[in-house]
Amino acid sequence: MTALAGLEVGAQGFGGMALAEVYGPTDQDAALATLHHAVDAGIRLIDTADVYGRGSNERLVGRLLRERRDEVVLATKFGFVHDPEPGGPRFRGDPAYVREAATASLGRLGVDRIDLYYYHRVDPRVPIEETVGALAELVREGIVDRIGLSEVTADELERAHAVHPITAVQSEWSIWSRDVEARVVPTAARLGVGFVAYSPLGRGSLAAPVTELPEGDLRRNFPRFDPERLAVNARVGETVRALAEREGVTPAQLALAWLAERGRAHGIPVVPIPSTRRPERVDENLAAVDVRLSAAALAALEPLAGLVEGDRARHVDDISQGRERRTAVAG
Ligand SMILES: NC(=O)c1ccc[n+]([C@@H]2O[C@H](COP(=O)([O-])OP(=O)(O)OC[C@H]3O[C@@H](n4cnc5c(N)ncnc54)[C@H](OP(=O)(O)O)[C@@H]3O)[C@@H](O)[C@H]2O)c1
């Protein structure tokens, strides 16, 4: 059983975001069936956030929890302002908001405790010590069991961990997104903090070709999926698919097995949380936990992230990539 700083979660979790219709339509009863299938298949860690589907994803997970609370490690997040004013703050980490957001999430989820509560994006107006201090209070009250941080820099992680032990960092990490390997991952490994890898399939692009994006598809927000870069970046997916065929696995399995390999290389537990609307893909993705890649495949995958054009986010300072880059320049 893979553990994040002592929290047993299994080698792979399930990301709930695709069930909030960000990458294509889904019906909420079918989405619930997919969640049940994930738990039936042995997945314990279910990941959601207050912002996914503007609360609807937490309500969906709440329907699962009504029947299976004891089988699930429940992770959710706060920090995105749901309806930001033009030019106003997009993230909030002030103590009053931490409590307000947690109370609202508990209501939507229909539970009295969140197992792992993540600060989703760092509010640049609030020192991270203050936000984590407010989270620590929720831990003392028994509303939250463990604290996680999403898209923090190595320095922010150190400062937060000094206030209260952090169980996991959740940030983007995959064959085509490796900036966290420079400082965030080594720092987490040193502090004994686990790593939850989000978008482990490159928001689908490593597993299957992503060509045209319909109106409303979340990927339109990311520079890598801009029409002028799509063709160049598609080369990464093409190489992944060719290598997967040679290894006798599916492209998604190769992408997930690669993350496990990187975790071993860095000496840190890495739990990917792929997301899918389709039960059969839950099984396909979960089977990756038994896959070991050849040295030749690992060597061929090594340069791929360097070929990618475009940052991981349009406002790159919102995520660790931009703030780490500024630290490196200043240093
Ligand atoms: N902390 C954060 O800021 C943050 C940001 C993004 C995501 N996340 C979390 O991480 C989770 C995963 O990230 P993600 O959803 O962005 O990206 P992902 O898991 O890399 O990719 C999801 C996409 O891949 C497709 N897919 C899944 N399995 C597949 C397979 N075996 N073969 C082919 N295609 C497959 C899905 O389509 P189908 O539905 O059609 O299968 C979906 O469009 C999210 O659900 C969320 O919980 C967190």
CATH of the domain at 153: 3.20.20.100
For 277, the token pair is 């609307």
The chain-wide mean pLDDT, for the chain, equals 97
- Residue 40: count of CB within 10 angstroms of its CB: 13
Are 298 and 289 in contact, with CB atoms under 8 Å apart?
no
Residue of 76, 172, 271, 275 best suited for mutating to test ligand 1, as the one with most atoms within 8 Å of CB = 275
- C-alpha 152/C-alpha 135 separation (Å) is 16
For 276, the token pair is 């899918």
Total domains in the fold of the chain: 1
- Residue 315: count of CB within 10 angstroms of its CB: 11
Residue of 37, 201, 259, 283 best suited for mutating to test ligand 1, as the one with most atoms within 8 Å of CB = 201
pLDDT at 39: 98
Domain interval for residue 104 = 3-330
pLDDT at 288: 98
For 51, the token pair is 């912002």
Which protein residue has the closest C-alpha to ligand 1 atom 37?
276
pLDDT at 280: 98
pLDDT at 212: 84
Instruction: Give the residues of the chain that fall short of pLDDT 50.
Output: none
Are 175 and 197 in contact, with CB atoms under 8 Å apart?
no
pLDDT at 49: 98
- What are the φ/ψ torsions at residue 78 (nearest 5 degrees)? -140, 165
- Residue 157: count of CB within 10 angstroms of its CB: 22
pLDDT at 329: 81
For 202, the token pair is 């490159």
pLDDT at 63: 98
User: Distance from the CA of 95 to the center of ligand 1, in angstroms?
Assistant: 31
User: Distance from the CA of 18 to the center of ligand 1, in angstroms?
Assistant: 6
Nearest to 315 by CA among 94, 151, 85, 131: 151
Are 280 and 33 in contact, with CB atoms under 8 Å apart?
no
Residue of 276, 277, 314 best suited for mutating to test ligand 1, as the one with most atoms within 8 Å of CB = 276
pLDDT at 24: 86
Are 220 and 213 in contact, with CB atoms under 8 Å apart?
yes
Task: Give the CA angle between residues 23, 283, 207 to the nearest 5°.
Answer: 45
- C-alpha 263/C-alpha 149 separation (Å) is 18
pLDDT in tens, 22-74: 988 889 999 999 999 999 999 999 999 999 999 999 999 999 999 999 999 99
- CB-defined site of ligand 1, < 6 Å: 15-18, 23-24, 47, 120, 150-151, 170, 198-204, 207-208, 252, 273-278, 281, 284-285
- Residue 36: count of CB within 10 angstroms of its CB: 15
Amino acid residing at 248:
G
pLDDT in tens, 214-249: 889 999 999 999 999 999 999 999 999 999 999 999
- What are the φ/ψ torsions at residue 66 (nearest 5 degrees)? -55, -35
